Copies of this chain bind each other. A is one copy, B any other.
Amino acid sequence: MAKNDNSVNIENAKAAEGERYHHGDLRSALVEEGLKRLQQGPAEALSLREVARSVGVSATAVYRHFPDKQALLHALADVAGDRMASAFETAMAAAKPGKDAFDAMGRAYVHFALKNPFLFKLMMSPEMMSGIAAEGRPRTRGMAMLTSALSELSGGKMSSEVQNIRRLQAWSIVHGLAMLMLDGLVPADEKLIDDVLASKIV
């Protein structure tokens, strides 16, 4: 067993979770803990000190792995983007091509948002998405999938400008519905989602 696939075996990571001075894989643990908290509350309510405490490490240890709080949030947004992309993939796979797939994407979008409200909101926040820093980062993977899928699906017989507008219309209605439901302005009713998305434009 010379060099088999024990790829990341930095001193056995979390095995023997004693009180070693060096954690083993703090960065992952912090992200994990962050994700757990984003299942229960908004990113604004996420405190570095609290996360560190939960992981069992001093508050400032976080700074060995993230230059500041924003950086941790960016990492979490990246995970969110990946998860959203996965959701899209399975949604697309389960639907047959054409308009069916199109609707599937829309529903997947809203469902992802409703099932991961805080993760979704974090990912969509200007701080995460804006700026060239976000270009090509994992957190944009979901968005990239969405737009490219919409491009394919929304019919190729239109000029690219019209196509672009159709795409934006689709994105708007889906995003708007998700936001309205997320913010409690509209009841997050399953049937309502179907009804609203069923007869949508495009």
Contacts and interface: CB of A to CB of B under 8 A. Distances in A.
Interface of A: 44, 124-126, 129-130, 143, 165, 168-169, 171-180, 182-186, 192, 195-196, 199-201
Contact of A201 (B177, B186, B201): B201
Contact of A168 (B126, B175, B186): B186
Most chain B Cβ neighbours within 10 Å, of A124, A143, A173, A182: A173
Nearest to A176: B176
Contact of A183 (B124, B177, B182, B192): B124
20 contacts: A44-B44, A124-B183, A129-B183, A129-B185, A130-B183, A130-B184, A165-B192, A168-B177, A169-B196, A169-B199, A169-B200, A171-B176, A171-B186, A172-B174, A172-B176, A172-B180, A172-B196, A176-B178, A199-B201, A201-B201
A168 B184 contact: no
Contact of A195 (B165, B171, B179, B182): B165
Given A168-B196, A172-B196, A176-B172, A185 B143 contact: yes
Contacts of A126: 182-184
A47 B127 CA distance: 19
A172 B177 contact: yes
Q: Kindly list the 4 A-B residue pairs having the minimum CB-CB distance in the complex, ordered from nearest.
A: A176-B176, A172-B176, A175-B176, A130-B184
A114 to B, nearest CB: 13
A124 B185 contact: yes
A158 to B, nearest CB: 12
Contact of A175 (B124, B165, B171, B180): B180
Given A125-B183, A169-B200, A201-B201, 16 more contacts: A124-B183, A129-B183, A130-B183, A130-B184, A143-B185, A165-B195, A165-B196, A165-B199, A168-B177, A169-B196, A171-B176, A172-B176, A172-B177, A172-B196, A173-B176, A174-B176
